[in-house]
Every structure is written in structure tokens, then in C-alpha cells.
């Protein structure tokens, strides 16, 4: 019995929309897109101040379609745990 192709096992939802500020083909944006597809819409991202917080685009319409906490450096774990 053959398994379905990998492309058929990837969920259809897109949680990283167009409009992000990464360069076309950026490895970081491709990785984030695929990780978000795997984790799904119930994901919450807590990210410290680094390049990814800039790449998601300006507020109030960032390219992420999941909740995203932008926190100061070193506090992402504390913010994520509540």
C-alpha cells in the first residue's frame, strides 16, 4: 500500500500571509510558513525583539495570521507561560 505524497499531507491553511517584509525565497520565511502549517491555527507565537519581529510586517496588519506577542529580549518564555 503506497503512502500519499508529501504535498498531499501538508495542511491547506496559510498562517503566514503575503505582505511580510522578508526577501523572496528567504529561508526564514519559508521555514516559518511550513512550521505554522504544521502547527495550525491554534498556535501562539511569543518572539523577542529580533529580525523576525520586523519581517512580519507593520501593525496593525502583520503578515502572521496567528496571535503574535512581540516581547523584549529574554522575556519570550515568561510571556508564553503566562
Kindly indicate the confidence band of residue 1, based on its pLDDT and cuts at 50, 70 and 90.
Answer: low
Are 66 and 46 within 8 A, CB to CB? no
Residue in the structure block whose three cell numbers are 498556535: 43
Q: Where in the chain are the domains? A: 14-81
Measured between alpha carbons, how far is 34 from 13 in angstroms, rounded to an integer?
10
pLDDT at residue 6 is higher than 70: yes
Q: What is the pTM of this model?
A: 0.76
The mean pLDDT value of the chain amounts to: 87
As a three-state string, the secondary structure of 30-58 is HHHHHHHHHHCCCCCEEEECCHHHHHCCC
Amino acid at each position: 500500500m503506497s503512502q500519499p505524497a508529501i504535498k498531499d499531507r501538508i495542511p491547506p491553511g496559510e498562517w503566514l500571509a503575503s505582505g511580510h517584509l522578508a526577501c523572496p525565497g528567504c529561508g526564514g520565511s519559508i521555514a516559518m510558513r511550513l512550521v505554522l502549517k504544521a502547527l495550525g491555527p491554534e498556535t501562539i507565537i511569543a518572539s523577542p525583539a529580533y529580525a523576525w519581529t520586523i519581517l512580519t510586517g507593520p501593525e496593525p496588519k502583520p503578515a502572521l495570521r496567528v496571535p503574535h506577542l512581540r516581547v523584549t529580549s529574554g522575556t519570550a518564555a515568561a510571556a508564553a507561560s503566562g
